[in-house]
A and B are shown apart, each in its own frame.
Chain A
């Protein structure tokens, strides 16, 4: 890459750049007529260059790795939800797109380790600006973003995503909450990340 003489460098404290910036403007002569005709060559030769078009609905290029797409509510390895209903995401949201209502976990009906869980979780994708501040605010990494970007729909109602739309799917070895924590552990073990999977004892008794 050619070094831009006007870019300040830390090495010379920007002195070179300042000198270049202070140089008097030289005589501004338009290029000769034949030089100006070069523009026609540029457009002509571009005809034979490779096009950048992606045939979108048929061909889907992967997004950038950290592309801000649809949100996802994550789970612990045993299936319990990470969301604790603290509403920090909703508070962080500059577009007021998130609505959270927390509720208390009980021993009979436990959705997340610890005291509270998110009972209602809605993200309005007509308001969301995909800035990611909610992700930064989340204390338990419950909320992250996926790379999914196909979020168009034909009504306002369909674009308010509920908790069940946002929750990560149950993977191998996960149990559908509500269910108790892994026997012999407490919520701190969950937060430390020592839970590696579900235990048969967690299976809900009444099911």
Chain B
């Protein structure tokens, strides 16, 4: 049975159950991922991390959640009360909604009903995810603006600028996927990866998506919006209690969201590793959920690893990287991909394809060597030559090492 037939036959209550299931999965994933992140990042710093609440500290985030809920809910005097309350709700709703089109499993038996663990399958599913992610930005902007305070405003502007610029790169990296799968629906994209996952065939797109998803979720090393040393807490500085917990939840659901989108688009979604496809029939198809979750967890571990390793980037470096590296690179890559695609559809002779590939490689090499020599020339121009010593006293030029006082 096709995906449309399976999902189209869902009665209302199954849809409700699926919606509830997505909600529960997201919340539990958040609780576990906060715990997992803290434990893993602690090990990277030779610490243990939370290990007291529950077995291995598993209930730590639950305890933190209860603590947050019991705290006093402050609304600053200068805040715009209505927007202040709505902002975290927008944030958290948007990140939950993007899960509607993510296929979590293959065909399974849910309460005696044959279906897929996917709420709906839009023909423009991935575009829908991008659109919803953009709505999520409103939560951040409005939170920053409505707090009526300087730092949240700065943080909110920073993170919205960040999310918007990295969304461009993200969207462009997905174009190659659309071209190759010929569809924007998540299930069709997964079906198109039957033989080769897109992370292999469209490797540059995968790398660009992986980088931009870190930028998109405001995570280290791109967590400029929450740069504690500069902005206190960023857009959620003035938030406390449950509203703060909602932002926290939104951040982690967002991470899980972009990870599952990456899984769907580049790692073959719920399908097993090549060579292990027989496992997809285990537990009546439910084992595909395990594959899906394993891939998402892998992405999450990479997120934590990045956070444990890299220092925070400077804002201008970050923006420069997004606009001057990621976007041009993905534009060039899209051109190459689409040309190759058109060639293969028109059955161009193999020699022409090879010629084109060879030409592209040659052009890239030429461009990179040109850039290199340009850099060297500019470095030579920037060098300070011999400067005539003026008659008035000047401080010494920094050509000497400063003396080290203690060993």
**Which A residues have a C-beta under 8 Å from some C-beta of B?**
4, 6-7, 17-18, 20-25, 39-40, 42-44, 46-47, 49-53
Contact = CB atoms under 8 A, between A and B. Distances in A.
Contacts of B402: 21
A40 B301 CA distance: 13
Contacts of A52: 46-47
Contact of B308 (A7, A43, A49, A50): A43
A15 B368 CA distance: 47
Interface residues of B, number: 21
B43 A7 contact: no
Contact of A40 (B43, B309, B403, B406): B309
Contacts of B404: 4, 6-7, 17, 21
Given A25-B400, A25-B401, 16 more contacts: A21-B400, A21-B403, A22-B400, A23-B400, A24-B399, A25-B398, A25-B399, A39-B309, A43-B308, A46-B46, A47-B44, A50-B46, A51-B42, A52-B46, A52-B47, A53-B48
B140 to A, nearest CB: 29
A6 B404 CA distance: 6
Given A39-B309, A40-B305, A53-B48, A46 B43 contact: yes
B47 A53 contact: yes
Given A43-B305, A44-B305, A17 B403 contact: yes
Contacts of B398: 25
Contacts of A53: 47-48
Contacts of B401: 20-23, 25
Contacts of B400: 21-25
B70 interface: no
B399 A51 contact: no
Contacts of B403: 6, 17-18, 21
Contact of B310 (A18, A39, A47): A39
Nearest to B43: A47
B40 interface: yes
B407 A46 contact: no
B51 to A, nearest CB: 8
A51 B43 contact: yes
Contacts of A50: 46
B44 A51 contact: no
Interface string B362-404: 0000000000000000000000000000000000001111111
Interface in B26-69: 40, 42-48
Interface in B307-365: 308-310
Interface of B: 40, 42-48, 305, 308-310, 398-404, 406-407
B399 to A, nearest CB: 5
Contacts of B42: 51
Nearest to B402: A21
A22 to B, nearest CB: 6
Nearest to A1: B407
Contact of B407 (A4, A20, A21, A51): A4
B365 to A, nearest CB: 17
Nearest to B45: A46
B60 to A, nearest CB: 15
A51 B46 contact: yes
B44 A43 contact: yes
A21 B40 CA distance: 42
Contacts of A49: 46
A53 B40 CA distance: 14
A45 B303 CA distance: 17
B61 to A, nearest CB: 19
Contacts of A40: 305, 309
Contacts of A39: 309-310
A192 to B, nearest CB: 44
28 contacts: A4-B404, A4-B407, A6-B404, A7-B404, A7-B407, A18-B403, A20-B401, A24-B399, A25-B398, A25-B400, A25-B401, A39-B309, A40-B305, A40-B309, A42-B309, A43-B44, A43-B308, A43-B309, A44-B44, A44-B305, A46-B45, A46-B46, A47-B43, A49-B46, A50-B46, A52-B46, A52-B47, A53-B47
Contacts of B47: 51-53
A101 to B, nearest CB: 45
A149 to B, nearest CB: 21
A51 B48 contact: yes
B10 to A, nearest CB: 43
A152 B321 CA distance: 50
Residue in A23, A39, A47, A50 with the greatest tally of chain B CB atoms within 10 Å: A47
Nearest to A14: B403
3 closest A-B pairs by CB? A7-B407, A6-B404, A21-B403
Nearest to A3: B407
Residue in A39, A43, A46, A50 with the greatest tally of chain B CB atoms within 10 Å: A43
B172 to A, nearest CB: 23
A51 B406 CA distance: 30
Contacts of A21: 400-404
A133 B47 CA distance: 35
B399 A46 contact: no
Nearest to A47: B43
A22 B407 CA distance: 17
Contacts of B399: 24-25
A161 B310 CA distance: 48
A53 to B, nearest CB: 4
Contacts of A51: 42-43, 46-48
A20 B402 CA distance: 10
A6 B40 CA distance: 38
